[in-house]
């Protein structure tokens, strides 16, 4: 290890590089802190607006809303663990961090504890990321399943995807929790072990990073691709189509972040000689991935909020003059048929299904029939001399005359 001014570096520097322990180079130290705080500050308002919309404007509060809140909690925890790594040197070159000094035992003990805490933060980070990624993607997939509820194949693929991810993330979480035996071996450097002590037996941690990142890239791509066939077949105004494709495009950014993360794993993490920089870069991409995913999961509810704000208040009778009971009767008539698509779609996307013409034809036919029946039942008496009122021209047997 490199020594300078009685300080031992945590790792040897590259040839020709002199460590600066007093003022280490800020590679990602500040960027990490700013990014994590900004991520929390950006995602939180979206989640709050979704909760308020689903609670007060467009109830009920469904299972995907609870999962979205859980994903936000895990996302916040993920950012907090990244900030903990910032506190203990994350973002500085590893060769500019001192492990201990030989002049003072107390100083040695304190710095060793710092190394322990940094590794504990990394351990917590690996645990939280898997849960965070899983529930964020589940929240997105449940939104897709509800928005495209009339597309049976899309719903089936969506729920198969949710189950498949659970089969990976749950066993992987168990392996991460027991990565070392004893678990303290994960954050205890070998140099600090007592003479004759048995080192902990640990699984291959880099293989876990690789597996996590590969699965994350695959599932992110799947979440992006699943709704594309259904969205292409929908008939809608170009403004609404633009909203749908914008949401998919934002999801593409999250997918790109996970793919870059995969590249970082193969180029840096596996054979890293500067872990305090490489792992922070790895974490920043993970933060971008889950934050963008959460924002995408909240966009349909946010669109409901803006749509309601633009619309004038409507009376219970509806804008076409039909009564509320007639409207409910129409919904009952459509229930169980493919014509129900219009009422099953999430309001947040404003999507019009391809069979909207059939729905409009039914409505127009009902509106044409109603005025004819009204005129037939309200015709005045033909002769004023006998003061006779015809009550129902369609049923002569039940006609009655009233004399004044």
- Mean pLDDT across the stretch 358-377? 57
CATH architecture of 3-193+200-310: Up-down Bundle (1.20)
Residue 272 has pLDDT above 80, yes or no: no
Residue 386 has pLDDT above 70, yes or no: no
Could you count the other beta carbons within 10 Å of the beta carbon of residue 283?
26
Query: Model confidence over 86-125: pLDDT tens digits?
Result: 666 777 777 767 654 322 222 334 444 555 555 666 778 7
pLDDT of residue 41: 96
Could you count the other beta carbons within 10 Å of the beta carbon of residue 181?
11
Query: Rounded CA gap, 105 and 101, in Å?
Result: 8
Query: Model confidence over 213-264: pLDDT tens digits?
Result: 899 999 999 998 998 888 888 777 777 777 777 777 787 888 888 899 888 8
3-class DSSP assignment, residue 128: helix
Task: Point out the least confidently predicted range of 71-80, 317-326, 338-347.
Answer: 338-347
Is the whole model's pTM more than 0.85, yes or no? Answer: no
pLDDT of residue 217: 92
Given a contact cutoff of 8 angstroms between Cβ atoms, the answer to whether 296 and 141 are in contact is no
pLDDT of residue 269: 72
> What residue segments make up the domains of the chain, in order of their start?
3-193+200-310, 325-398
Could you tell me which residues come within 8 angstroms of residue 285 by beta carbon, excluding any fewer than 6 positions away?
257, 258, 260, 261, 264
- Mean pLDDT across the stretch 367-395? 48
DSSP codes joined into one string, 288-342: HHHHHHHHHHHHHHHHHHHHHHHSPP--TT-TTS--HHHHHHHHHHHTTSGGGHH
């Amino acid at each position: 290890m490199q020594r300078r001014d009685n300080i031992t570096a945590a790792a040897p520097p590259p040839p020709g590089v002199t460590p600066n322990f007093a003022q280490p180079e800020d590679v990602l130290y500040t960027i990490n802190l700013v990014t994590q705080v900004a991520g929390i500050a950006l995602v939180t308002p979206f989640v709050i607006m979704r909760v308020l919309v689903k609670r007060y404007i467009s109830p009920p509060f469904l299972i995907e809303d609870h999962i979205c809140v859980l994903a936000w909690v895990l996302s916040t925890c993920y950012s907090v663990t990244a900030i903990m790594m910032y506190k203990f040197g994350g973002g500085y070159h590893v060769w500019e961090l001192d492990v201990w000094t030989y002049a003072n035992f107390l100083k040695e003990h304190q710095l060793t504890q710092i190394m322990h805490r940094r590794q504990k933060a990394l351990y917590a980070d690996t645990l939280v990321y898997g849960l965070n990624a899983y529930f964020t993607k589940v929240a997105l997939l449940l939104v897709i399943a509800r928005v495209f509820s009339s597309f049976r194949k899309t719903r089936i693929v969506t729920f198969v995807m949710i189950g498949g991810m659970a089969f990976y993330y749950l066993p992987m979480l168990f392996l991460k929790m027991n990565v070392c035996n004893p678990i303290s071996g994960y954050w205890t450097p070998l140099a600090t072990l007592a003479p004759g002590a048995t080192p902990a037996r640990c699984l291959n941690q880099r293989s876990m990073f690789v597996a996590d990142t590969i699965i994350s890239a695959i599932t992110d791509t799947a979440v992006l691709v699943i709704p594309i066939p259904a969205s292409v077949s929908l008939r809608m105004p170009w403004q609404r189509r633009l909203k749908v494709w914008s949401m998919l495009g934002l999801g593409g950014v999250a997918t790109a972040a996970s793919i870059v993360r995969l590249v970082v794993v193969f180029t840096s993490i596996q054979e890293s000689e500067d872990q305090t920089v490489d792992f922070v870069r790895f974490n920043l991409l993970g933060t971008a991935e889950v934050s963008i995913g959460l924002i995408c999961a909240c966009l349909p509810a946010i669109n409901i909020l803006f749509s309601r704000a633009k619309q004038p208040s409507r009376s219970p009778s509806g804008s076409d003059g039909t009564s509320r009971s007639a409207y409910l009767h129409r919904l009952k008539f459509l229930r169980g048929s493919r014509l129900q698509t219009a009422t099953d779609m999430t309001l947040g996307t404003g999507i019009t299904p391809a069979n909207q013409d059939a729905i409009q034809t039914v409505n127009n036919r009902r509106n044409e029939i109603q005025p004819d029946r009204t005129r037939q039942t309200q015709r005045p008496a033909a002769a004023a001399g006998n003061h006779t009122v015809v009550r129902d021209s369609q049923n002569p047997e039940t006609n009655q005359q009233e004399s004044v």
